[in-house]
Amino acid sequence: MSVRGDRLRRHRERDRITGRIEPLLTGVEGWLYIEEAVELYETVRSHPAADPVLVVEIGSWKGRSTIALAQAVRDRGHPLGRVVAIDPHTGSREHHERFGAVDTFDEFLRNIDRAGLTDLVEPMRTTSLDASGQLVGSSVDVLFIDGSHEYEDVRYR
Ligand SMILES: C[S@@+](CC[C@H](N)C(=O)[O-])C[C@H]1O[C@@H](n2cnc3c(N)ncnc32)[C@H](O)[C@@H]1O
């Protein structure tokens, strides 16, 4: 295939994925751009790991990225694929400064349910540090990190 033909094919494929993901994200609040959601989707959908794939997400907020990741797991076709979504759902420092106290858990669950993805998403309502202890021995295929930026939360221990 020519370079131009290849570019056109990729462009059409991106449009197709955008058309698939965008309706699922409508009304789900957050900062993740549709282009980023498509990137997450493509990463998981085309990942060479054997199925069932295990995706771990750190930082879910109200579920925009979780939905993109989980839809890709769904489209891989294996019923045991899953997304472990780690978040204490109490926000980060920048959220507290902007919104005060937050609790995003119920809205997160509602958004995942509305997207029809509840069976694929395993929420862990805790910090990444706590969750890491519980995931020891799991073979993670894709890790998406979008959680706290505080040094104490991300430093290597
Ligand atoms: C930028 S938001 C995530 C946005 C989300 N990925 C999306 O697509 O909308 C960051 C999230 O990290 C979570 N968070 C803060 N500290 C955390 C920690 N120690 N471990 C895991 N998540 C944390 C916050 O509760 C917040 O929901």
Nearest to 44 by CA among 86, 52, 6: 52
Ligand 1 centroid to residue 91 C-alpha, Å: 6
pLDDT at 52 > cutoff 70: yes
pLDDT tens per residue across span 23-32: 999 999 999 9
CA–CA distance, 142 with 1 (Å, rounded to integer): 30
The single-letter DSSP state of residue 137 is: T
pLDDT of 86:
98
Classify burial at 38, counting beta carbons within 10 Å of its beta carbon; exposed 0-12, middle 13-18, buried 19 or more.
Answer: buried
pLDDT tens per residue across span 38-47: 999 999 999 9
**Which residue segments constitute the domains of the chain, with CATH numbers given?**
3-154 (3.40.50.150)
Contact predicate 65/45, CB 8 Å: no
Q: Which atom of ligand 1 is nearest to the CA of 90?
A: 25
pLDDT tens per residue across span 82-118: 999 999 999 988 888 888 899 999 999 999 999 999 9
- Contacts with 96 (C-beta within 8 Å, 6 or more apart), sequence order: 102
Q: Which atom of ligand 1 is nearest to the CA of 64?
A: 8
